[in-house]
Amino acid sequence: MKNVVIIGSGNVASHLIQFILANEQLNLVQIYARNSKDLNLIVKDSLITNDYSCIKEADLYIIAVSDNSIAEVSKNLPFENKLVVHTSGSASLTAINEKNRRGVFYPLQTFTKNKLVNFSEVPFCLETEFEKDYENLEYFSKNFSKLVYKISSEQRKYIHLSAVFVSNFTNHMFTIGNEICKENDIPFEIFKPLIQETVNKIDHLSPIEAQTGPAVRNDSETIKKHLDLINNEKIKLLYLNITESIKNYNVKKL
């Protein structure tokens, strides 16, 4: 299984296209894209179509479009009984039209435009409708990364939810820290080693064991001092809520 058609032109599609083009074991047969503006920079025009009826024969069709478009795009495919996968963290396998053999090929990573992804360090969450397709999809995925996991649609929903906490919400904690720094003329760089060590710690400890700070120590004096420093009422509320949540988890632990 080496001949691939990519459907989509967004962030994930672009990163997959660039990887497949650079990999000698894989062959990018074609790209279907309604909007090929961004793609022209990375592939020849002749590889791109915007006409469903022109989509070529391949071993695997990867739909990398927004969750809401998966159903429509997969319905428009002009063939049946082929292996068609999507790349979404939150859409079910059944979002794909049932006329094809369905699957999921979900790279668990945060993709940034114009920043190359090292796929060898990206975990892939795989799922197929039919057992016989799993082996092929797994073999295909190992061209990208050794980190390949069999994950059901049900589990994947929770992975996507957890990813929001560990990545999106974590980044928001950085945003708030950065704002506090800007207001007080402190270079945000000063926090980079602390942030890296916070991440390194969970290589050796579970996150609940790694918890430090005033909330887990129940240091109400420091908590009060911090609340007094925060002018923004919404951020104050957030500080209180997360502090309470840390206390709750710690009580459970004891």
Q: Rule CB under 8 A: which of 2-41 touch its own copies?
A: none
Nearer to its own copies, 218 or 241 (CB): 241
Residue linked to tokens 């001092």? 225
Only one of the segments 26-34, 71-79, 127-135, 181-189 lies at the binding site for its own copies (rule: CB under 8 A); that segment is: 181-189
Nearer to its own copies, 82 or 214 (CB): 214
Nearer to its own copies, 61 or 119 (CB): 119
Per rule CB under 8 A, count of chain residues that contact its own copies? 90
Following CA atoms 232, 235, 239, 240 in sequence, which dihedral angle do they give, to the nearest 10 degrees? 70
Which SS3 state, helix, strand or coil, does residue 4 take?
strand
For its own copies, the binding residues in 202-221 under the rule CB under 8 A are 202-208, 210-216, 221
Task: State in angstroms the smallest separation of the CB of 37 from its own copies.
Answer: 20
Task: State in angstroms the smallest separation of the CB of 185 from its own copies.
Answer: 7
- Of 104, 99, 70, 109, whose CA–CA distance to 87 is shortest? 104
Q: Could you give the CA distance from residue 149 to residue 168 in angstroms, rounded to a whole number?
A: 22
Q: Could you give the CA distance from residue 111 to residue 168 in angstroms, rounded to a whole number?
A: 12
Nearer to its own copies, 48 or 163 (CB): 163
Q: How far is CA 106 from each of CA 87, 124, 126, 149, 163, rounded to the nearest angstrom?
A: 4, 5, 6, 10, 13
Q: How far is CA 142 from each of CA 2, 88, 116, 119, 172, rounded to the nearest angstrom?
A: 12, 18, 18, 10, 33
For its own copies, the binding residues in 91-150 under the rule CB under 8 A are 108-110, 112, 115, 121-123, 125, 147, 149
Of 197, 231, 233, 254, the one binding its own copies by CB under 8 A = 197
Residues 20 and 26: beta-carbon distance below 8 Å? yes
Is residue 71 near its own copies by the rule CB under 8 A?
no
Is residue 74 near its own copies by the rule CB under 8 A?
no
Nearer to its own copies, 97 or 250 (CB): 250
